[in-house]
Amino acid sequence: MIKLMDLLNEGINDKGIFKAVFLAGGPGSGKTYAAKQIFGIPERFNISMSGMKMVNSDKELKFLLKKFGFGTDLDKMPDEVFKNLTGDEPDSSGLRDFGKSLTKQRMKLYQQGKLGMIIDGTGHDFGKIQSMKSELEADGYDTYMVMVNTSLEVAQKRNQERDRILPPKLLEKSWQDVQKNLGSFQSLFKNNFVIVDNSKHLSDEEAEAKFVPLVTKVVRKFVSKPIKNKLGKKWVEKQKLLRRK
């Protein structure tokens, strides 16, 4: 039987504990691919090599679309069907809201366990990320943002290669919203902010050469650093005291 103290000891010594990295970038920016390279997330898994958990509402929506037989090629759907499936209006299907609620519950469980998180989103809603950042920091977390950026032309091209294709006009609006928020995100996260240019189509070797230095110098450094947040540090100190007792 696994002892409770063994679990406690493992938790407080986890490098990713009380660390939250926001991953932002418009549809077609390749941020999910970049995240796998930056954080070392194997295919078909939801956890990085450092033990940080991935949180992504798109993943939940994609699962629901497939589950109920709609498929994920949104660009080929009639406008009314697309709005009904992905909208959040009172008369819509409610799938998007359901997907968001599943993601929120998953994130809450991670947060209750003080686990490290990679929060994957587009970054088009500045207020939402600002609110999430404040909530996590009030719970003891240190926060960071990795912005994966690309040109609109490249984003549109990649969008057509995705299994969940967005209407071009919707992608363009989301891309423009993200660009408008770049300066605000830099001000919000200050030194804990980095922009990754992912405009070029890279081979596996080129991607490794581009992203590995970023992992070593930026992300891994942030994850491995001692917790700065006073509330987080206090929680760890209390757990160590309980362990000694």
Between the CA atoms of 167, 83, 25 and 67, what dihedral angle is there, to the nearest 10 degrees? -100
- Residue 132 within a domain: yes
Residues of the chain above pLDDT 90, percent: 21
C-alpha to C-alpha distances, 135 to 111, 132, 141, 165, nearest whole angstrom = 10, 5, 9, 32
- Residue 62 within a domain: no
Q: What is the pLDDT of residues 182-223, one digit of tens each?
A: 999 999 999 999 888 887 766 656 666 666 676 667 777 888
Q: What is the pLDDT of residues 129-171, one digit of tens each?
A: 999 999 999 999 999 998 888 888 888 888 887 766 788 888 8
User: Is residue 63 over pLDDT 80?
Assistant: no
- Name the domain count of the chain: 1
- Residue 79 within a domain: no
- Residue 235 within a domain: yes
Distance in angstroms (rounded) separating the CA atoms of residues 130 and 6: 35
CATH of the domain at 44: 3.40.50.300
Write out the residue range of the structural domain in which residue 129 sits: 4-56+115-244
- pLDDT computed for residue 4 by the predictor: 41
- Residue 69 within a domain: no
- Residue 27 within a domain: yes
- Residue 103 within a domain: no
- Residue 73 within a domain: no
Angle, helices 168-189/126-138, rounded to nearest 10 degrees: 40
| Pairing relationship of beta strands 142-149 and 53-56 according to DSSP bridges | unpaired
User: Is residue 126 over pLDDT 50?
Assistant: yes
Q: What is the pLDDT of residues 7-61, one digit of tens each?
A: 444 467 676 899 999 988 887 777 777 777 666 665 554 555 556 788 876 666 6
